[in-house]
Every structure is written in C-alpha cells, then in structure tokens.
Amino acid sequence: MGDDPVIGADRQKACPAVLVPASLSSLVAGYQWARDLVGQSGGAVYRLDGKPDAPDLFLKHGRDALAEEITSEMVRLRWLAGYISVPAVTHFVGAADEAWLLMTALPGQTAYQLLEAQPAEQIAIVDALASFLRQLHAIPLGDCPFTSDHAYRRARARERIDAGLVEEDDFDAEREGWSAEQVWDALQTLMPLAPDPVVTHGDFSLDNILLRDGAVVGCIDAGRVGIADRYQDLAILWHSLGEFDPCLQERFLARYGIADPDRGKLHFHLLLDELF
C-alpha cells in the first residue's frame, strides 16, 4: 500500500466515487477510487489514490453495529499512534447509526502479499513480524484504556451469535460445516483460561501488517486493540502463517520468544476469532 503498492485484482476493484458527507467532500475530491475486497465485512473500505501531490488515503464506511466498530477504531488509532506506526486519522464523521473514517495509507505492502511474492524472503519477513509484535506487546498496560480480554470478547461473541451476525460459511477449513453454537460449545471446553495480559492488536493477521524494505512500517484495522492475553495476537498470526509453511509458524513463535507454545490457548483464540 502507500506509494509503491502491488495490488492484486482479487484484492481491490476500481469503482466510482461514492457520495460522502459534506465535511468530507473536499478531502476526497480529485482521487481515484477502488473498493477494497479484503476489507471489513458488512461495511465498505475504499482506497483513494492518484491525486497529484496528495497522500493516498483509505475511507471506511459502516452503518449500525459496524458504525460502532469504526468509531472504536478511530479512538484506538488516535491512542495507538503514540506508541507504534498506524494510519493517521484525517477526518471522522459519526452518528448513532453511521460512521465515516478517513485515514492516511501506510507505505509498503501487506505481509501476505510479500510472503506470496517473495518466497526467498519469508524467514526475514516472519522475523520482522515477531519483532514488531514484541514492540506492541511491550506497551505499558497502565497506559492502555481499552479492554479486549477473553471475558469481554466472549460476551461480545455471545451477543453476535444471538443476533445472527456470525458468518458460519466463513469458518476456517477445520470447522467447515460447524454452526456458531458448536464453536461456542467448543470454547467452553477450553475454559478457564489463565490470562497473560498485554496490549494486543486483536486481529494481528498477515493482511493487517505492512512492510517496506524488510521492516514493518505499521499495522491497520485497529478496532480491537486492547488489553488481552498475548495469545490473542499470537494465535491469529500463527494460523495465518500455516497457509504458507508450518516451519514459518515455528519460526514466528521462536523469534517472538516462546519455545513451548500453549496449544490450548492457540486453539481457544482461533475458536473465538471465528465468532467475529
């Protein structure tokens, strides 16, 4: 992303400019628009680029429950910017049932894109991801005003199940054909969970981490940032790396500093993530 993107046709699609609130009109004028196909489910994510002498931008738009999530992301981005590199909030428009979030685009490419395009560099990429996650997890707990622990997320997950919001056809392959209730029941068998709290990203996947010149330049999609067990982040990235090579999973945990991973926690957080 940023000033040197390599964007696959399966990840973004050119689209006309959309109608935005009046306070955003001048900020998005003159840009070319593309709909992000990897963006937030249920809402819309747009990439804005091609405007001379102007930075590339991203615009998120959502209604109802998703508007709340976008508002949460805006607040967390502004806080997290004091500690690590994240998109800068350019403008925000929010109401009870709708939200618009305009942000700068980070330079570089996603970890997923680089792992796919540069097989010879996969070990170095994984090492950079582990180093960045250690930096994130080193943020002092007392500085973080947000809670995202497993008790909080289980309560939100239960609300999503009851409201019929869980996308059961999007579960990982190992849970294909499961219902949300089956995932919920499996979660319960792994309780209680001894917490090891750190400041977590909450959705630390390969699509949400940007690298350039071999180093992580920042992360995106920060709406779940908060204090939680460190395996919240470890599990998601560990699982993502399995798509490429199990050796990368082992390398990631070792470089992060975990010689003997807690398989129960990995499984718990992957189950929990299915419900969001």
- Which tokens hold the place of 170? 């999007």
**How far is residue 257's CA from residue 122's CA, in Å, rounded to a whole number?**
18
**How far is residue 39's CA from residue 12's CA, in Å, rounded to a whole number?**
9
**How far is residue 183's CA from residue 172's CA, in Å, rounded to a whole number?**
11
**Residue 219 bridge partners (DSSP):** 209
**How far is residue 161's CA from residue 40's CA, in Å, rounded to a whole number?**
18
Contacts of 213 (CB under 8 A, 6+ apart): none
**How far is residue 158's CA from residue 164's CA, in Å, rounded to a whole number?**
10
Q: Which stretches within 86-223 are classed as H helix?
A: 111-117, 122-137, 150-162, 180-188
Q: Which of these is catalytic: 36, 49, 56, 203? A: 203
203 is catalytic: yes
Q: What is the DSSP secondary-structure string of 39-76?
A: S-TTSEEEEEE--TTS--EEEEEEETHHHHHHHHHHHH
List the catalytic residues: 203
